[in-house]
Structure 1
Amino acid sequence: MDTALENPSLAAAIAQENEIEEINLLANPDPARADKKKRFHNKSKNGCRTCKTRRVKCDEGRPGCQRCSAFGFDCDGYDEPFQPKAKMSHGQVFPHRRARVIPQVQPSAAALCRSPQKSLFKNDQEHRYFSLFSTKTANQLQGLFPTDLWDRLVLQVSERDSSVRHAVIALGALDPQTWKSPTKSWKDISRRKFAYHEYSIAILEMKKAISQKSLDLRTRLIGCLVFVAFEVYHRNTPSAVAQIERMSLLIEEQIREQNIYTPTSTTIDNELLESFRDLEIQNLVNNSFGRALTERDLLDSRQSIKHKLPQEFVSLHQARAMFHVIVIRQLHWQNTCKHEWPWWATAETIGLFNVQNDPPSNDITTTEEWCAERDRRFEEYTAWSNAFQPLLLKARILNEPHELRRAEIVRMTYLATYLALMTRMYSPWESWYGQTTRLVELVALIKHLLAQTDESDSGFSVEMNFLVPLIVVAKMFRHRASRKEAIRLLFAYPRREGLWDGVLVAKSLQWIAEIEEEGMPDEEEYVSYFLATDLGRGTEIDPVKRVAKLVAFQRPIQAPMTIVRKETVVTW
């Protein structure tokens, strides 16, 4: 989308409008207008250099004039503070006015995007819902970190590509705030039908453009991202995963010779690359075996990046980007080992009273190689944590609300990922029962952050924010008090983030907790690891009717050597 005024007639019209307003102010002796005249001249004289050059009103915004930004000009800043001059004598006249010249201004990368021409839309409905997306939906899709991905990059691509534009219109018609409840009113039904109509057009036009090989990488990645958002809204996980994997393959094909997992890569917009990393992690977490790994994935996952980590991060964005790199490589490495996770709970290795400290060797890796690699992974996490601590400490000292919140979000993500790694890498004697302090800290941090959410947070996000950390607490560990509080938070703050629906997760984990803790004495702090129960094959989820058939296989506390099939049906 263009970011500057490139239409000379439009610029001339703006100048003419300002000229007429100023002349009217000078000619009208009405006291109210005279006061407006005074304010006009004060702003003109005390305005930014660019507005004074253009001889137009300046809003005197700091650090830069918003008027310049809105009309695509670079604001050149301000002169010395305005000092009122002496009033003019009765015989004094206004100085001669010279003709105005509109300077030629180069497009500014930082300028705000203008609205697309109305001719791009076939009817008023398309225009209305595109405008709704631009002004409202784009903000709702923002993650917990500031980015101009949705309100700049997506809008730029949507102006020149019709398939992305129709998908954007479909999202604007949906209104993500309505994800919590099914459609009821005729107005909502009408909007939903229009959204589906636009989405079907987007898919057809995308297929056509791909067959003609007329789309660049950036447009195709943005298209995948918008499609993911639409599918996430409907909790259509298979379709969302297909789009995520398509993004992975596109990046792999196009920049095979460049390491895309380094935060300094400039092949793709940083905002788009960060969004892709988040989606890639979601896919790997949601499916423990992930997608089929390419040769480059295998190579990257085996290489250590510890030497690339600075002693201290310069910004939270840098810390977060580096952390995503570490997590992706770790998840890829897990898939190369061909061990089921957790390795000590598989059919081949499980034992009620004789748990091995390390996994057995297999055709892919020996126990010694696996343990050495595991130690390197923990060293990287430790090095990252050491580089992040100064930033966290600085944010707590300065106590600036937004920066502190973002620092605590990064800390929350680190704790959840580290705990998940513990359950994967060590035996239950070292991990399951030994992480109470970290679990308590993580739950307290999540509770604090959720309590800070305001009314503008609809609970809908394409990114994974709070749900995965809560799942780590309630699913991967059986500390009863922490799990109970995590499930309570899932119900108290209903959210849909990426591939997960918080209410469905809460009901599933609540049912699992009831099964595992049946007949257990109240004084027991943990559920024993060999009584752990997870959802098994046979679980079916209908996202349209919001009905799920859950299946689990329980080892009763009274007879742990036997396995009992359990079933239930939940709605959400």
Structure 2
Amino acid sequence: MRRSKDGCVTCRIRRVKCDETRPRCRRCDTANRECGGYPTGRMPRRRLVELLGSSASPTSDLPLALAASPAEVAYFDLFRQVTASSTLFDSEFWQRDLLQLTHSEPAIWHATVAVGALQAGWQVELRGAESDESTKDAVMHYGKALALARNIDCPEKAAALSLILMATTNMLGRWSESQLHILASLRMPAHQDTAVRMDFQAMSYSDSESPYPYDKTSAVTDLDRILLDTAQEITTIREAGSRMFAVMRAYFLLDESMVTGELAQGPFLTRYEAFLRNLCAWERCMERFNEGKDESQLAETLSLRLYHALLRLFVRTGSLGPETRFDDCLGYFEYIIRLATALQEASPLSGKLSLEPGLIIPLYTIVHRCRHSSLRHHALGILQGLNNIEGNWRSAPAARVAARVVAIEEDGLAPSTVLSIDHAQPWVPWRAWSRVDFELPSSASPADVLVPEGNRVRDVCPMADLEARRMDLRMLMCSTNGVDPYGSVREEVVYF
């Protein structure tokens, strides 16, 4: 259907059909958008930009000189107001540094506009409304950013561009291109805090067609420097998060080197001991940092606790051994569920688009690795209610895949009884985690875990088609002979 040339300013900028109801169109009211009104006669492009600036929130800092169209300004404004502030961990890069660089660097401007266009498309998708042209716009601006990248001669700008390009390709499902961008950002010293978080996120999801390149990221990472960096005191919550994700990423790289045999046992154990010392030092610093502070409703501290508990779960279980090793960690699963629930209450995260890690990774891990039916179904319920995008993770396909894992593993088992989780319990003191005798209590019992080893899904190898809303899965079942690492392979398809 051809768009009317007499629609309201907002619908014309968004390139969607306006119902032309006056004085405000119903489409803008339904979408909870500020209607720009109806100009008389033909409107020059410059005037449209001026009207957009007056009908939206103040945008005096917008680099209008770089904008080729009013739609670009609208997309940039959406990124600035919504996308940049939606990260779980407070980020100076997204909320300040990147926005400042758009003033002087056209490539970064176009890449930022591309993410804003994808944010606009996501908002349309959330409402179940008809598709608009925002994805096409995003691809176009992504291409312009790539073409202009060759003109950048400043390392700080190059690093920033790599990160925003990675964010774009994550949302477009272009995994191999995303890996190129993160590798480029890891080679440069600027904005490493953001690069580390996004790289950790990339490690946690590996598409079958583009497996995560551990060998290449290891080659550009000074692992020993990270593991030996234990002396600093923590002065801000942002600093605490940066150090924790650096340690967490180091653990994944170290663990992979052990699994693949890249490191001999001696060098691996030396580095692993350094990792544990680093983690314990961070926990002691957090204990001192939090002394006298009320963190009960501090969303970012809850986020730190959430990912720290996930890291401690990985340390407790390791990568080798039967899947039944997770059955002794029900306290960890329950604790992570409590943290996720508290985080949702402190800062509702459903229906959001974030460029960095959020709730999806911890919740998906619980549903997959926890075989206590009541606990995993509790986590699955939270995951199914999110409707989020978090970097290269989307809650809708993650929930469908997780639900399929549960259905396969619990096939033929009687429905579980509902377990009551005590959300009033205090959080674990930071200093307690490093105790040799540390155990997390649980309301659940390992005796209630009924899924036998041979029925468990050890690994899921996904191949995503975001346009078709389809996930092709290779599910590697656990071995039943106690010798081979894997058993049979199941081919599954889920739609989202």
TM-score normalised by the chain length of structure 2: 0.70
Alpha-carbon contact 1:392-1:407 (below 8 Å) kept: no
Aligned positions of 1:301-312 closer than 5 A: 301=224, 304-305=227-228, 307-310=230-233
SS in 2 for 1:570: strand
AA of the residue aligned to 1:246: A
AA of the residue aligned to 2:466: P
Q: Distance in 2 between matches of 1:285 and 1:529?
A: 23
| Residue 290 of structure 1: aligned partner | 214
Cα 1:558–1:487 change in 2 (3 A) is: farther
Alpha-carbon contact 1:176-1:460 (below 8 Å) kept: no
AA of the residue aligned to 1:144: L
| Residue 406 of structure 1: aligned partner | 300
Cα 1:325–1:303 change in 2 (3 A) is: closer
Cα 1:406–1:130 change in 2 (3 A) is: closer
| Residue 119 of structure 2: aligned partner | 175
2:334 aligned with 1:440, yes or no? yes
Give 1:387 deviation, angstroms: 2.3
Deviations 1:219-260 (A, max 9, x none): 1112122222222223333332221122123x1xxxxxxxx5
Give 1:291 deviation, angstroms: 4.2
Q: Distance in 2 between matches of 1:132 and 1:147?
A: 17
SS in 1 for 2:328: coil
| Residue 279 of structure 1: aligned partner | 198
| Residue 472 of structure 1: aligned partner | 365
Alpha-carbon contact 2:193-2:242 (below 8 Å) kept: yes
2:251 aligned with 1:327, yes or no? no
| Residue 219 of structure 1: aligned partner | 157
Deviations 1:183-223 (A, max 9, x none): 9867x5244433333332222222x42xxxx4211111121
Aligned positions of 1:312-461 closer than 5 A: 313-337=234-258, 339-340=259-260, 364-366=263-265, 370-371=268-269, 373-392=271-290, 394-396=292-294, 401=297, 404-424=298-318, 427=321, 431-454=325-348, 458-461=351-354
2:107 aligned with 1:163, yes or no? yes
Alpha-carbon contact 1:278-1:464 (below 8 Å) kept: yes
Cα 1:128–1:293 change in 2 (3 A) is: closer
Alpha-carbon contact 2:469-2:495 (below 8 Å) kept: yes
Q: Distance in 2 between matches of 1:429 and 1:125?
A: 51
Alpha-carbon contact 1:176-1:233 (below 8 Å) kept: no
Q: Distance in 2 between matches of 1:548 and 1:470?
A: 19
Q: 2:148 aligns with which of 193, 205, 218?
A: 205
Aligned positions of 1:185-204 closer than 5 A: 188-204=131-147
Cα 1:498–1:163 change in 2 (3 A) is: same
Q: Distance in 2 between matches of 1:553 and 1:328?
A: 25
**Which protein, 1 or 2, shows the higher relative CO under an 8 Å CA cutoff with sep ≥ 6?**
2
TM-score normalised by the chain length of structure 1: 0.62
Q: Distance in 1 between matches of 2:128 and 2:226?
A: 53
Give 1:411 deviation, angstroms: 0.8
SS in 2 for 1:567: strand
Question: Percent identity, aligned pairs only?
Answer: 16
Q: 2:79 aligns with which of 133, 143, 150?
A: 133
Larger-Rg structure:
1
| Residue 179 of structure 2: aligned partner | 241
Aligned positions of 1:13-92 closer than 5 A: none
| Residue 115 of structure 1: aligned partner | 61
Q: 1:567 aligns with which of 488, 491, 496?
A: 491
Cα 1:301–1:488 change in 2 (3 A) is: farther
Alpha-carbon contact 2:230-2:281 (below 8 Å) kept: no
User: Which stretch shifts more, 500-509 or 151-160?
Assistant: 151-160
Give 1:516 deviation, angstroms: 1.6
Give 1:333 deviation, angstroms: 1.9
Cα 1:563–1:430 change in 2 (3 A) is: closer
Q: Distance in 2 between matches of 1:295 and 1:192?
A: 34
Q: 1:506 aligns with which of 366, 387, 399?
A: 399
SS in 2 for 1:160: coil
Q: Distance in 2 between matches of 1:293 and 1:151?
A: 26
Q: Distance in 2 between matches of 1:234 and 1:179?
A: 15
Cα 1:182–1:535 change in 2 (3 A) is: farther
Cα 1:180–1:236 change in 2 (3 A) is: farther
Q: Distance in 2 between matches of 1:371 and 1:520?
A: 41
Deviations 1:96-129 (A, max 9, x none): xxxxxxxxxxxxxxxx995256443333333443
Q: Distance in 1 between matches of 2:272 and 2:307?
A: 20
Alpha-carbon contact 1:284-1:291 (below 8 Å) kept: no
Cα 1:151–1:507 change in 2 (3 A) is: same
Alpha-carbon contact 2:323-2:478 (below 8 Å) kept: no
Deviations 1:364-391 (A, max 9, x none): 413x654454444334323322321344
Q: 1:548 aligns with which of 454, 462, 471?
A: 471
Alpha-carbon contact 1:167-1:202 (below 8 Å) kept: yes
SS in 1 for 2:396: helix
Cα 1:132–1:315 change in 2 (3 A) is: closer
| Residue 100 of structure 1: aligned partner | none
Count of aligned residue pairs for this structure pair: 402
2:469 aligned with 1:532, yes or no? no
Cα 1:286–1:185 change in 2 (3 A) is: closer
Give 1:481 deviation, angstroms: 2.6
AA of the residue aligned to 2:75: Y
Alpha-carbon contact 1:460-1:496 (below 8 Å) kept: yes
SS in 2 for 1:145: coil
Cα 1:395–1:177 change in 2 (3 A) is: farther
Deviations 1:449-484 (A, max 9, x none): 1233348x6421110111111122222343333222
Give the alignment's Cα RMSD to 1 decimal. 3.6
User: Which stretch shifts more, 516-525 or 215-224?
Assistant: 516-525
SS in 1 for 2:494: strand
| Residue 52 of structure 1: aligned partner | none
Alpha-carbon contact 2:62-2:73 (below 8 Å) kept: no
Give 1:499 deviation, angstroms: 1.6
Cα 1:308–1:520 change in 2 (3 A) is: same
